[in-house]
């Protein structure tokens, strides 16, 4: 289809291809078994395809949508060969993501009319939250933007120290207090500091303790209220970081966090080390929240802006 045009640079595309390699290889090995000995897309092939999509962590509801779309094409075209299935899947998945109007960005940008642009980052421990913040800070700084970090995950000394390491590495200022300090107080100080320094972007790290959702909800609400005393419409984006390698568990985390606070965008990390890249398709579709960034490697430049066309192209290459 015409929308499969190259958008990313060659180097960026190669990183994406490599990062999705395990997911792609696993998917196509299952797909080739699903159509083995068949020349036509029939009920058996569709049943097998359903199994392939679900086992590739696309999620049951999104899988059923995709199967419905392919069934429509089969009934319309009467004869669809299994050799066409790869292209049909590419088109239908890209079409599904297009309907949700997600993943059109090609670069790290922020709205020009929001200064400072306040980004609050949420997610459970171990998903790559701090690393994502560090890599985002690096990308924004490369754009010539002034970035300030806030260490509002005060429940773990390690979280504060990790963020400090990234701040030093990227060479951006950080606002921190002692472990056990009030997270809202750190957020308030960070925004004040950011405004005083004429910052373009302020990124606030927060603690993610899903086992106590009521406390989490109250804490995130308090952080938002306190930030709004400094910047009236903050935060401009609440970014939920999910570990793509956990597959269905990432769905569950997304469900819990969207109940606890208003999440406005997603980052899916660690896709390079897993065969569960299909989770990006399912999460995009099910939560109707833009996947804004994906992690496809450990390097500082391996956090990429999610673009649905490039993603689908790499996944089905």
Compute the half-sphere exposure of residue 48: CA atoms within 13 Å on the CB side of its CA: 19
Confirm or deny that 125 is annotated as ligand binding. Answer: yes
Confirm or deny that 234 is annotated as ligand binding. Answer: no
Residues 6+ away with beta carbon under 8 Å from 148: 116, 172, 173, 174, 175, 190, 193, 194, 197, 199, 201, 202, 203
Of residues 135, 165, 126, the one with CA closest to residue 15: 135
Confirm or deny that 209 is annotated as ligand binding. Answer: yes
Confirm or deny that 207 is annotated as ligand binding. Answer: yes
Confirm or deny that 299 is annotated as ligand binding. Answer: no
Computed from CA positions of residues 281, 282, 285, 290, in that sequence, does the dihedral angle turn out positive or negative?
negative
Confirm or deny that 62 is annotated as ligand binding. Answer: no
Confirm or deny that 205 is annotated as ligand binding. Answer: yes
**Chain-centre distance for alpha carbon 207:** 18
DSSP character string of 171-199: T--EE---TTS-HHHHHHHHHHHHHHTT-
Confirm or deny that 123 is annotated as ligand binding. Answer: yes
CA distance 156 to 142: 29
Confirm or deny that 168 is annotated as ligand binding. Answer: no
Confirm or deny that 81 is annotated as ligand binding. Answer: no
Asked whether the beta carbons of 209 and 215 are under 8 A apart, the reply is yes
Confirm or deny that 159 is annotated as ligand binding. Answer: no
Confirm or deny that 128 is annotated as ligand binding. Answer: yes
Asked whether the beta carbons of 303 and 137 are under 8 A apart, the reply is no
Helix (H, G, I), strand (E, B) or coil at 303: strand
Confirm or deny that 206 is annotated as ligand binding. Answer: yes
CA distance 164 to 151: 8
Confirm or deny that 200 is annotated as ligand binding. Answer: no
Confirm or deny that 124 is annotated as ligand binding. Answer: yes
Instruction: Pick out the residues of the known binding site for GTP.
Output: 123-130, 205-209, 269-272
Mark the binding-site residues, compressed into ranges: 123-130, 205-209, 269-272
């Amino acid at each position: 289809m015409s929308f499969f045009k190259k958008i990313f640079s060659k180097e960026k595309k190669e990183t994406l291809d490599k990062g999705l390699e395990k997911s792609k290889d696993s998917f196509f090995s299952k797909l080739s078994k699903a159509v083995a000995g068949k020349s036509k897309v029939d009920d058996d092939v569709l049943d097998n395809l359903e199994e392939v999509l679900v086992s590739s962590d696309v999620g049951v509801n999104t899988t059923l949508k995709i199967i419905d779309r392919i069934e429509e094409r089969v009934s319309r075209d009467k004869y669809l060969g299994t050799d066409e299935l790869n292209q049909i899947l590419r088109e239908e998945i890209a079409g599904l993501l297009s309907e949700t109007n997600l993943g059109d960005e090609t670069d790290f940008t922020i709205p020009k009319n929001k200064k400072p642009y306040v980004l609050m980052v949420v997610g459970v421990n171990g998903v790559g939250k701090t690393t994502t913040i560090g890599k985002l800070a690096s990308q924004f700084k490369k754009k010539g933007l002034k970035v300030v970090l806030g260490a509002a995950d005060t429940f773990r000394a390690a979280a504060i120290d990790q963020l400090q390491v990234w701040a030093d590495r990227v060479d951006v200022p950080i606002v921190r207090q002692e472990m056990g300090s009030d997270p809202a107080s750190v957020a308030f100080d960070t925004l004040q500091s950011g405004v005083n320094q004429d910052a373009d972007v302020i990124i606030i790290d927060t603690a993610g303790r899903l086992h106590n959702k009521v406390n989490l909800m109250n804490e995130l609400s308090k952080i938002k209220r306190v930030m709004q005393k400094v910047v009236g419409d903050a935060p401009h984006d609440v970014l939920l970081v999910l570990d793509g390698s956990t597959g269905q568990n990432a769905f569950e985390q997304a469900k819990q966090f969207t109940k606890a606070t208003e999440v406005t965008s997603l980052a899916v990390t660690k896709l390079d080390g897993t065969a569960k890249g299909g989770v990006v398709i399912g999460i995009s579709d099910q939560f109707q929240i833009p996947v804004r960034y994906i992690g496809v490697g450990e390097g500082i430049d391996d956090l990429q802006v999610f673009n649905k066309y490039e993603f689908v192209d790499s996944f089905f290459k």
